[in-house]
């Protein structure tokens, strides 16, 4: 592996030569030398440097994105070679969209640690579109997303169903209600996730299927922020039951079924089309095939 690429990635991500040197356990002069050698080899200036910042040039940005892919491919190759000699172990980079990553994945990781202590997982959380791009660019070994997702260059396989339900504040007007019509909720403020989120796509499909759309909406990029806002009485939302289990136990939020067809979406895993997978990925996939406990 060309260590100069690893050094460039570290400098760009840390935005600082000193912090990059600490990350790589190198001296700062060694980091600077690697960057100079890479710039000379490529015949282009890769970084703009001042006392206040370090940032990539246009050429540096191109090299950075290709370097991430190259380093990811090298790591996967090394893991496969290690697997020939050893049982499941090594690095396992998992990307997950918010609902699964924050509310389901921790349980799976606890089981993974218990059964395969040599596997060292790292977790990356983002919305569905971001996780798909990370798999595509070899930044993670496996992605887990919510809702419908397709990509010609990736293998996408559903493994579980997730039901989204109406989440409302624990207020007298909602207490004791067995179900609600969307029509009577159109004057409420609906708090939705951002575009690109699987939860947002599910909500949009629900509005379209029922032929009605609330005129008052807010868009937040965090499920936790949405829950806090609903609890405060700012509005209502459509969220996975996985995301509100603690709030239901505490009584700070209520789930009220919406009349009509249930809002269901898949949880799916995403991989590259390849016959070669590390044992760490294989054992994690086996865990995903087991029924989710919640």
Tokens of 246: 């603690």
Give the residue ranges of DSSP H helices in the chain: 3-14, 17-24, 28-42, 58-85, 98-103, 105-115, 128-136, 198-210, 223-231, 245-250, 279-289
At residue 17, does pLDDT exceed 80? Answer: yes
**C-beta of residue 238 within 8 angstroms of C-beta of residue 180:** no
**Residues 6+ positions from 138 with CB-CB distance below 8 Å:** 68, 69, 71, 72, 73, 76, 272
Model pLDDT for residues 247-286, shown as the tens digit of each residue: 999 999 999 888 888 888 889 999 988 777 788 888 899 8
- How much is the pLDDT for 86? 59
Q: Which one, of 146, 244, 243, lies nearest residue 202 by Cα?
A: 146
Selected from 1.20.120.1750, 3.40.605.10, 2.40.420.20, 1.10.10.10, the CATH number assigned to the domain covering 1-85 reads 1.10.10.10
The whole-angstrom separation of Cα 10 and Cα 34 is 12
191 membership: H or E segment, kind and range: strand 190-193
Q: What angle do CA 232, 238, 244 make, to 5 degrees?
A: 65
At residue 85, does pLDDT exceed 60? Answer: no
- How much is the pLDDT for 294? 53
Q: Is CATH 3.40.190.10 correct for 164-263? A: yes
Going 66 to 69 to 75 to 78, the CA torsion angle's sign is negative
At residue 1, does pLDDT exceed 50? Answer: no
The whole-angstrom separation of Cα 10 and Cα 14 is 6
- How much is the pLDDT for 280? 87
The whole-angstrom separation of Cα 210 and Cα 260 is 9
At residue 87, does pLDDT exceed 70? Answer: no
List the domain boundaries for the chain.
1-85, 164-263
Please compute the mean of the pLDDT values over residues 8-20 and round it to a whole number. Answer: 87
- How much is the pLDDT for 250? 93
- How much is the pLDDT for 80? 67
Model pLDDT for residues 23-57, shown as the tens digit of each residue: 888 888 888 888 888 888 888 888 888 877 888 89
At residue 167, does pLDDT exceed 90? Answer: yes
């Amino acid at each position: 592996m060309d260590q100069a690429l690893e050094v460039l990635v570290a400098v760009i991500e840390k935005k600082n030569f000193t912090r990059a040197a600490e990350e790589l356990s190198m001296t700062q002069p060694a980091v600077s030398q690697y960057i100079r050698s890479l710039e000379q080899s490529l015949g282009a200036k890769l970084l703009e440097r001042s006392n206040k910042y370090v940032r990539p040039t246009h050429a540096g940005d191109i090299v950075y994105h290709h370097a991430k892919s190259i380093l990811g491919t090298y790591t996967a190759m090394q893991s496969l070679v290690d697997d020939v000699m050893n049982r499941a172990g090594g690095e396992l980079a998992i990307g997950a969209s918010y609902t699964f990553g924050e509310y389901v994945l921790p349980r799976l990781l606890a089981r993974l640690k218990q059964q395969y202590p040599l596997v060292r997982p790292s977790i990356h959380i983002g919305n569905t579109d971001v996780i798909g791009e990370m798999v595509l660019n070899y930044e993670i070994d496996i992605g887990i997303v919510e809702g419908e997702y397709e990509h010609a260059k990736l293998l996408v396989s559903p493994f579980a169903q997730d039901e989204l339900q109406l989440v409302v504040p624990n207020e007298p007007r909602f207490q004791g209600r067995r179900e609600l019509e969307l029509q009577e909720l159109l004057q409420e403020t609906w708090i939705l996730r951002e575009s690109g989120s699987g939860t947002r796509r599910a909500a949009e499909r629900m509005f379209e299927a029922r032929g009605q759309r609330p005129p008052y909406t807010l868009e937040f990029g965090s499920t936790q922020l949405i829950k806090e806002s609903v609890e405060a009485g700012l509005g209502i939302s459509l969220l996975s039951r996985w995301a509100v289990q603690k709030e239901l136990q505490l009584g700070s939020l209520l789930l009220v079924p919406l009349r009509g067809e249930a809002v269901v979406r898949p949880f799916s895993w995403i991989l590259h089309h390849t016959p070669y997978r590390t044992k760490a990925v294989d054992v994690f996939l086996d865990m995903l095939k087991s029924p989710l406990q919640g």
